[in-house]
Amino acid sequence: MDQGRATNVATPGGGAVGVQIQHSRRVLPDFLQSVNLKYVKLGYHYLISNLFTLCFIPLIFVTLIEVSQMDLEDLRQLWLHLQYNLVSIVICSAFLVFGLTVYITTRPRPVYLVDFSCYRPPDHLKAPFDRFMEHSRLTGDFDDSSLEFQRKILERSGLGEETYVPEAMHFIPPRPSMAAAREEAEQVMYGALDNLFLNTNVKPKDIGILVVNCSLFNPTPSLSAMIVNKYKLRGNIRSFNLGGMGCSAGVIALDLAKDLLQVHRNTYAVVVSTENITQNWYFGNKKSMLIPNCLFRVGGSAVLLSNKSADRRRAKYRLLHIVRTHRGADDKAFRCVYQEQDGAGKTGVSLSKDLMAIAGGALKTNITTLGPLVLPISEQLLFFATLVMKKLFRADVKPYIPDFKLAFDHFCIHAGGRAVIDELEKNLQLLPVHVEASRMSLHRFGNTSSSSIWYELAYTEAKGRIRKSNRIWQIAFGSGFKCNSAVWEALRNVQPSPNGPWEDCIDKYPVKIVT
């Protein structure tokens, strides 16, 4: 059989070789054309981005030539002219000094990210697929159809075998009590904060602002009060507890902390992002409400922000932009992620079939606002040109999708699920390396809700990929429906902090995700 294949390949002018030659003749020009277009666009980008500099260079040469041709008498006349106009010069200088003073005192204060920490649960909380399915079967709450549905979701989810579920879910039957939920919250929040304070040498008494976000678990006293009590934070601390705001609440908490740091000088802000699974596990058989059981896992993060100029030297990043989009005015968007009771009275979070379409619409609105803030002028001109042709001239042209790879070096896309990452990779025309952090975080830790973007940033740090001046785009989606973005600039070549979530396993990643 092998000999027969060899004879067929060797047949002159026909067989496999003939087909291969014809295919090569067809593919080679297409390949060369795509390469040429790539470099043409790259050249256009560099030309437009440096257009001002290119126009300024001839002006500099002309000025130098003119100055070199001036003799001593010309210079003396210029000095006398300036002396006779001393009053004008003083007035102009006064206006310049006044303007600079107003600018310096009113400009937004820079917000620095000193460091952040992600919680890594203990190994005994791991939930491999087989154990997860066996546990679901033994609880007796799920029928055969629901068990099969959960098995398929797990296989296609992009999650690995080492994600974590809370202690209460490891018992048979499960024990979802208020005490167990508090214990989960304490383990996650305190674990992340202990590591953060250890790595930064910041004393809890130095914290002036505390923002905690957790969507589904809001006890009394609040989670923020639990942190104040645990670490004995000062009595005049500005503390906030955000609830019910979904997986994008981490960026909302950042936005609130940023605004507070503009008002309160010379202080630190801590943002704690987490979710609580213990009391929010669904024990019914409604398919749309079973999906969160398969995707959401234990996790949390703590972020230390500062507005102190002295912290710039040791900070990892500077916050550049936060852009928030809320589509809650639309009924479909409002109900696409909805906590409710099923027909049997069992509470869970229902995910609509329209979720991906709604997320796409929210993303489009968000990047329309974000684009002018971050995209190079070359991309903005192309986008504007296609918009003019479509709106004014009614031309049948496709909307131009800006190349965000020219604006950002790293992407932290909320690891909400495999479909979310696939959709953004396709719509934003990203490369596999750009979504690697999101896929690997989903595989290793699952959907950790609002903290997932920090596990992704920790992954990128652990890989040693973040260099000085790199820009990072964190983008998150959440109920409401919301799409929120945060943009950071690296202030140095960033190394991972001690006791990071990837410290013991980064060498194993990336792994191949089975399709």
- Among candidate residues 195, 280, 410, 483, the one labeled active-site is 410
**What residue type is 428 in one-letter code?**
L
- Cα–Cα distance measured from residue 227 to residue 327, given in angstroms and rounded to the nearest whole number: 32
- Among candidate residues 213, 276, 326, 470, the one labeled active-site is 326
- Cα–Cα distance measured from residue 300 to residue 274, given in angstroms and rounded to the nearest whole number: 4
Give strand pairing partners of 15: none
Residue 229: CB partners within 8 Å, gap ≥ 6? 221
Q: Quick check: is 23 catalytic?
A: no
Three-class secondary structure of residue 333 per DSSP: helix
Class of residue 270 by CB neighbours under 10 A (exposed 0-12, middle 13-18, buried 19+): buried
Enter the tokens of residue 38. Answer: 């790539």
C-alpha dist (Å) from residue 276 to 52, 376, 450? 52, 40, 11
- Among candidate residues 276, 293, 336, 443, the one labeled active-site is 443
What is the residue-wise DSSP string for 215-258? SS---SS-HHHHHHHHHT--TT-EEEEE-S-GGGHHHHHHHHHH
Q: Quick check: is 124 catalytic?
A: no
Q: Quick check: is 412 catalytic?
A: no
Q: Quick check: is 326 catalytic?
A: yes
- Among candidate residues 366, 447, 470, 484, the one labeled active-site is 447
In degrees and rounded to multiples of 5, residue 483 shows phi and psi of -130, 120
**What residue type is 327 in one-letter code?**
R
- Among candidate residues 213, 307, 414, 484, the one labeled active-site is 414
- Among candidate residues 195, 214, 241, 247, the one labeled active-site is 247
Q: Quick check: is 247 catalytic?
A: yes
| Residues identified as active-site | 247, 326, 410, 414, 443, 447
